[in-house]
Structure 1
Amino acid sequence: MKKIIFFLLTIAIFFKSVGQDTKKLQEAQKLFAIKSFDKALPLYIEAIQSGVKEPLAFYQTGICYQKQQNIDDQVKGIPYFETAIKTGKGLPSSISLDLGLLYLKNEDLDKALIALSEYKNAVKADPKALNVANQAVETCHNAIALMSLPRNFTVHPFQGTANSKFTEYNPCVSADESVIAYTALRPNNGRTRSGDKFIEEIYVSYNKSGSWTEPKLIPIASDYNVGTAGISPDGQKMMIYIGGINDPGSLYQITKEGDDWSKPSILPGNINSPSSLETTCSITPDGKTIYFASDRVGGKGGLDIWKTELKANGTWGAPVNLGPDVNTSANEDAPFIHPDQKTLFFTSDGHNTMGGNDIFKSSFVGGKWTKPENMGYPVNTTANDNYFTLLADGKRAYFSSDRKGGQGAQDIYYIDMPENASTVPLTMIKGKILNAETGKPIPTKMYVIDKETKKDVEFVYDPDPKTGDYLIILPPAKNYDIVIESEGFLPYTLNVNIPNQDYFYELYQQITLKNIKQFDQVVGQEVSVKNAFYDTEQEVKTDLRKTHEAQLV
């Protein structure tokens, strides 16, 4: 009798357990149906661990993992897809594609090709699906080729505290690596756009003696998405993206004053266009050319890279598409024009990408852009690698990626370029303008004039009004007059003669101004220029002259 009772109890417990497993599976499938994958996932796992063996449950668990933000979580879906294919029939044919793409992200390329081949056989009567499969196969072959010849780069996580368990991307770094700004996704917490789980915010960090400060939020008054779009080489102007209820997204500018940033103002000219998306941009050191990404009419497809140039009359010319050598029917985004003004980096999910977005390089040679070169592995991976910025001296670059091993969905990384990388023949002049009597900065404008072409004003720089800091980047074999107008002082000219060097050169200047008075009347001024040369081969020649260019006052 006891054996019968025990048997009946065992049967009851079994059916109760099966009933609970079935209930959890049903709850998971209800959540799956409304695309609530995060909530469905733990219920699927619990049901499977309790004995559920339905192939559909394994397939849907794999999909839930596939939808996770972090790639390390996404690839956890691989064994669930494998089990579903092995044990079941009647599953969607796309399961082989889903599995193949996860193999690709996991850099398991041979298995990816097998899974994609199975998908091609399943959809050979569907031209659209077959095209998707063929593109994925091509991407796998690109990855095999690029990973077989890795570049001499070592990728490092960003040294500061920017990276987190969330998402950080699009690092915008000044030419001298003194400031970095980036976009971060942070939990909404009901602050704005209450329907969004995460919101975009802009953070900035400063390089103080080689260490990055704690990132600081830049408050942007907007109820819609905001993000970094670019930064001027001197770090004084930041371009940002702002979305809108009737606007896919436009580009704005904020200006630095000490550690503070101004309110946004729309970028000038025809960069922004109604009903089009403008995402990112990059400006040359002289402020005369802006490269930007847009999906406006007239492009090659998706986002394209365009440029606009400042005309002699002070207006911006019509945007020009960079053409089919750079742009494809896919998306080209995140242009970064190096201060040498002839090297362009950008992000694309076209060209010979090895998976997701890759970083490409093109050079302006003979009046046209060269065929874009994939930056190679390990800068690019089978994940998404984006938003590349190279410092003026060409020694270090920053970018963001959602590759395996990161802290969050996307992180910020940097690479130190190899010693044998091409040198950058530029001169970077950094300095500070101070009042000799107070030791405080002076509001100043700096007008750069090319002595050889005798143009009235080549370009204008605005030192930081709160710090007096300025940064000017000049090409080799040039002779410039820099006319400096400081508030409360007479104009004066600093001549800068740049040698025809084939290497990068850095010069630091500190300029101090002091009025000379007699009987409380200003009768003259004393200008002191202290130069510190960061070069031992050849010095940039500087010469101070008095000037009375009334037209520049």
Structure 2
Amino acid sequence: MDKLVYLTLLIFGLMISIPGQSQNLIDKGNRLFEKKDYENALKALLDANAADDADVNFKIGMCYLYLETKSKSLPYLEKAFNAKSNISEDIHYYLGMAYQNNHQYSKAREHYEEFRSKNKKLYELATEKIFECEIGDSLTRKPIRAVITNVGAGVNSSFNEYSPLVSSDGQTMIFTSNRSTDDYKIKSGTNFEDIYIVRKAGSSWGTPEKISPNINIKFNDAAASLSPDGKTLFLYYEDGAGDIYTSHLEGSDWTKPEPLSKTINTPLFWETSACISADGQKLFFASNRPGGKGELDIWVSTLDAKGNWAKPTNLGSAINTPGNEDSPFIHPDGVTLYFSSDGLPSMGSNDIYKSEFKDGKWQKPVNLGYPINSIEYDGFFSISEDKKTGYYSTLRAEGMGSADIYTITFLPPAKEEKEPVLLASTEPAVQQPKVEEPKVIEQPKTKEPKVVEKPKEEPPVVIKEEPKVVVVTPPPAVTQPVAETKTPEPAATEFVDPIIEVHKANKVVTLLKGKVIDETTAQPLAATISLVDNITNKVITKINSNPQTGDFELIIPHGGNYGVATERQGYLFNSINFNLPQFAEYQEIDTHIIMVKAEIGSKVVLKNIFFDIGKSDLKPESIAEVENIKELLIINPQLSVQINGHTDNTGNAETNKALSLRRASAVVSYLIEHGINASRLTAKGYGSERPIVSNDDESEGRAINRRTEIEIIDAKG
């Protein structure tokens, strides 16, 4: 009898405790989900064993979308949707992502189209995802003949491994990883990247070890490429904004890395990766310096007769897009370029492409196809001289954890089978301008190698943050300093036109924010920033940057032509132009406003000087900018300046030179007519002799080269 009572009480207790334990796990999972700890939230929610709870299934599905194994999200999101179709206003977007990650493109398109029909503000985002499905469907229907193999646990780990550089004999690999056994570093995100080397042991890879104490430093360092002879390593160091260095193999050890020249590395911009041609004469590298087509672009520099790298040239619109192009690899044949891009039509995130140099120009890039490319990140590709074996880094659900290194064995085409070729157009998938709305949905972060990051990721959900664009006015080098009397910098009276607040409330503004810094030292500066309506020549906003940090925020209303002038005593003013349509979407722009000291040889581009095509009469919109020049000369009576006129290379060279001189003279004439002594002013026309960027088939490049500059030529007074 006692045993029967005991068993009854035990069963009754279990009936009470099991639901209680399940609810505790659900509560724990919900708390972790809200804290964005998706890995532990997933574990708790799965352990809750609440298979019929729609909310639990939805959050399990969302956790998988936030993590690497996105394909596992599908059954849970399906179950949640079937039980509770209104479980989230964005459920169709999430289901679209889940089906897309499982290569069920027809169903993915159905959900994206449903999402698009109910979210007019996110029309472009949904259309872009539908376009990805069309590309993915096309590529997966005709996979290329290749075997993709994870190189194994000897090399890969639960951390990021990428940038595999394999010697020509295939026996040695150099790669980058942020692996660590230090729990504190892992949790604090300070498990920085190091470069490793591993050698073949029979048919498999041995145990990796750090390449050399001469190379690995405290912070991030990453392998970029290896010279054909295996004796020069190009690597990325977090120096400045990030630069390219080289190390040489001497005996059995690598030398301390040295930076490439200043024609390659820039003090304020990002150089992420580089690759040298087999003959050692050309260096291809990625950078987000000014004069590019978007974010990271691929550039090339040629070795001159003195053994120095010449001024680099942008590879142009055939290769570069408004997005990111990174990790270039030039094949030993010297004419086949492989690279990663998130700006060309892809299956989802970064895909790998190749382009050949024919008839003096780069051809349209070709997507390497499925299964090499995937919905996740694919990059850092290299290939053997016979083009039969490739290596790259990719995120796969079946991988060891984060990004892993894979080998590709290319198979010969099957009989009567043509290899599919997808030409990657640089035209946007949607005709409307690609500007993102302020989003209400949170974006799961895809874990990518850090040096890739700036490669843009394609997340499984809508972006919450506003798009950020880097806008910098790059000044040339300063030569001869001028004696400067240091005086306290007066703070200008700040004001904002009331119409700005109206535009801001309606979200029809651009938020320009960032820092004002010195061109030489990069130190923050206190400066006065004015927003001028170029049509009315009225100053509608005047603010001061923070004197300690240089930070500022400036609201620019849409529907006008505006000039942003930044001024500080002892410096040339900085000029930026914004011509914004009335119905442009809200956006944020991050920028460094770079101030050039008023010294002999200093010059800046005047972004708000305007002329009609083929004419030399100053347009009314130019008056505020020319008035800024006048004020500069009145405040600094010791300065004499030259106004330089430049054109692009279209048309007759002599005609262009004459036009550029007339335009420079028009600025000088205005200044003389308004009280500036003619002896302090000179006009010079250069025509197309001094381009900043290439004019070849680049309308954007030609627009940059058509410019007016102010240059200080004397400071004696």
Q: TM-score, normalised by structure 2?
A: 0.53
Q: Displacement, 1:276?
A: 2.1
* Structure 1 match to 2:78: 82
Report whether the alignment pairs 1:149 with 2:150: no
Q: How does 1:62-461 map to 2 (within 5 A)?
A: 62-69=61-68, 73-88=69-84, 90-123=86-119, 125-126=120-121, 129-158=122-151, 161-187=154-180, 189=182, 195-196=188-189, 198-206=191-199, 212-218=205-211, 219=213, 220-243=215-238, 247-419=240-412
- CA deviations on 1:353-402 (whole Å, 9 max, x unpaired) are 12322111101111110000111222223333222112223332222222
Aligned residues: 410
Q: Displacement, 1:235?
A: 0.9
Distance (whole Å) between structure 2 residues aligned to residue 91 and residue 302 of structure 1 = 37
Q: Displacement, 1:342?
A: 1.0
* Structure 1 match to 2:56: 57
Indicate conservation of the 8 Å contact 2:132/2:347, yes or no: yes
- CA deviations on 1:54-78 (whole Å, 9 max, x unpaired) are x333222222222223xxx332222
Indicate conservation of the 8 Å contact 1:293/1:306, yes or no: yes
Structure 1 residues 35, 57: closer, same or farther in 2, change over 3 A? same
Structure 1 residues 313, 59: closer, same or farther in 2, change over 3 A? same
Amino acid at match of 1:346: F
Structure 1 residues 313, 75: closer, same or farther in 2, change over 3 A? same
Distance (whole Å) between structure 1 residues aligned to residue 314 and residue 278 of structure 2 = 21
- CA deviations on 1:401-452 (whole Å, 9 max, x unpaired) are 223433332222223344579xxxxxxxxxxxxxxxxxxxxxxxxxxxxxxx
Structure 1 residues 75, 51: closer, same or farther in 2, change over 3 A? closer
* Structure 1 match to 2:22: 21
Q: What secondary structure, in the 3-state scheme, does the structure 2 residue paired with 1:346 have?
A: strand
Structure 1 residues 310, 208: closer, same or farther in 2, change over 3 A? farther
Indicate conservation of the 8 Å contact 1:304/1:321, yes or no: yes
Amino acid at match of 2:112: L
Q: What secondary structure, in the 3-state scheme, does the structure 2 residue paired with 1:186 have?
A: coil
* Structure 2 match to 1:472: none
Distance (whole Å) between structure 1 residues aligned to residue 256 and residue 183 of structure 2 = 23
Distance (whole Å) between structure 1 residues aligned to residue 243 and residue 305 of structure 2 = 25
Structure 1 residues 122, 84: closer, same or farther in 2, change over 3 A? farther
Q: What secondary structure, in the 3-state scheme, does the structure 2 residue paired with 1:154 have?
A: strand
Indicate conservation of the 8 Å contact 1:176/1:392, yes or no: no
Q: Displacement, 1:7?
A: 10
Once superposed, what is the RMSD of the aligned Cα atoms?
3.1
Q: Displacement, 1:249?
A: 2.4
Q: TM-score, normalised by structure 1?
A: 0.67
Amino acid at match of 1:61: I
Q: Which moved more, 1:392-401 or 1:279-288?
A: 392-401
Q: Displacement, 1:213?
A: 4.5
Distance (whole Å) between structure 2 residues aligned to residue 235 and residue 387 of structure 1 = 17
* Structure 1 match to 2:46: 45
Q: What secondary structure, in the 3-state scheme, does the structure 1 residue paired with 2:179 have?
A: strand
Indicate conservation of the 8 Å contact 1:187/1:197, yes or no: no
Q: What secondary structure, in the 3-state scheme, does the structure 1 residue paired with 2:136 have?
A: helix
Distance (whole Å) between structure 1 residues aligned to residue 180 and residue 352 of structure 2 = 29
Q: What secondary structure, in the 3-state scheme, does the structure 2 residue paired with 1:202 have?
A: strand
Indicate conservation of the 8 Å contact 1:237/1:253, yes or no: yes
Q: Displacement, 1:108?
A: 2.2
- CA deviations on 1:82-119 (whole Å, 9 max, x unpaired) are 22222225543333223322322222222222222222
Amino acid at match of 1:259: S
Indicate conservation of the 8 Å contact 1:343/1:363, yes or no: yes
Indicate conservation of the 8 Å contact 2:160/2:404, yes or no: yes
Larger strand percent: 1
Distance (whole Å) between structure 2 residues aligned to residue 174 and residue 186 of structure 1 = 23
* Structure 2 match to 1:536: none
- CA deviations on 1:130-158 (whole Å, 9 max, x unpaired) are 21211111111111111222222222333
Q: Displacement, 1:313?
A: 3.0
Structure 1 residues 250, 98: closer, same or farther in 2, change over 3 A? farther
Q: Displacement, 1:178?
A: 4.6
- CA deviations on 1:174-222 (whole Å, 9 max, x unpaired) are 3443532111231351686872164322111245787654322124443
Q: Which moved more, 1:33-42 or 1:154-163?
A: 154-163
Amino acid at match of 2:105: L
Q: Displacement, 1:248?
A: 4.2
Q: Which moved more, 1:32-41 or 1:389-398?
A: 389-398
Indicate conservation of the 8 Å contact 2:71/2:397, yes or no: no
Identity of aligned residues (%): 35
Structure 1 residues 237, 88: closer, same or farther in 2, change over 3 A? same
Structure 1 residues 106, 207: closer, same or farther in 2, change over 3 A? same
Structure 1 residues 191, 312: closer, same or farther in 2, change over 3 A? farther
Q: Which moved more, 1:202-211 or 1:96-105?
A: 202-211
Amino acid at match of 2:245: Y
Distance (whole Å) between structure 2 residues aligned to residue 299 and residue 92 of structure 1 = 40
* Structure 1 match to 2:35: 34
Distance (whole Å) between structure 1 residues aligned to residue 77 and residue 187 of structure 2 = 35
Indicate conservation of the 8 Å contact 1:205/1:216, yes or no: yes
Distance (whole Å) between structure 2 residues aligned to residue 6 and residue 397 of structure 1 = 65
Indicate conservation of the 8 Å contact 1:188/1:197, yes or no: no
Indicate conservation of the 8 Å contact 1:170/1:228, yes or no: yes
Indicate conservation of the 8 Å contact 1:251/1:266, yes or no: yes
Distance (whole Å) between structure 2 residues aligned to residue 193 and residue 5 of structure 1 = 49
Structure 1 residues 301, 313: closer, same or farther in 2, change over 3 A? same
Structure 1 residues 217, 382: closer, same or farther in 2, change over 3 A? same
Distance (whole Å) between structure 1 residues aligned to residue 411 and residue 11 of structure 2 = 68
Q: Displacement, 1:291?
A: 0.6
- CA deviations on 1:207-240 (whole Å, 9 max, x unpaired) are 5787654322124443322211111111111111
Amino acid at match of 2:218: D
Q: Which runs of 5+ in 2 are unaligned?
A: 415-717
Structure 1 residues 159, 359: closer, same or farther in 2, change over 3 A? same
Distance (whole Å) between structure 1 residues aligned to residue 50 and residue 78 of structure 2 = 19
Amino acid at match of 2:88: P
Distance (whole Å) between structure 2 residues aligned to residue 224 and residue 121 of structure 1 = 47
Q: How does 1:505-544 map to 2 (within 5 A)?
A: none
* Structure 1 match to 2:513: none
* Structure 1 match to 2:469: none
Q: Which moved more, 1:282-291 or 1:196-205?
A: 196-205
Distance (whole Å) between structure 2 residues aligned to residue 83 and residue 109 of structure 1 = 19
Q: Which runs of 5+ in 1 are unaligned?
A: 422-553
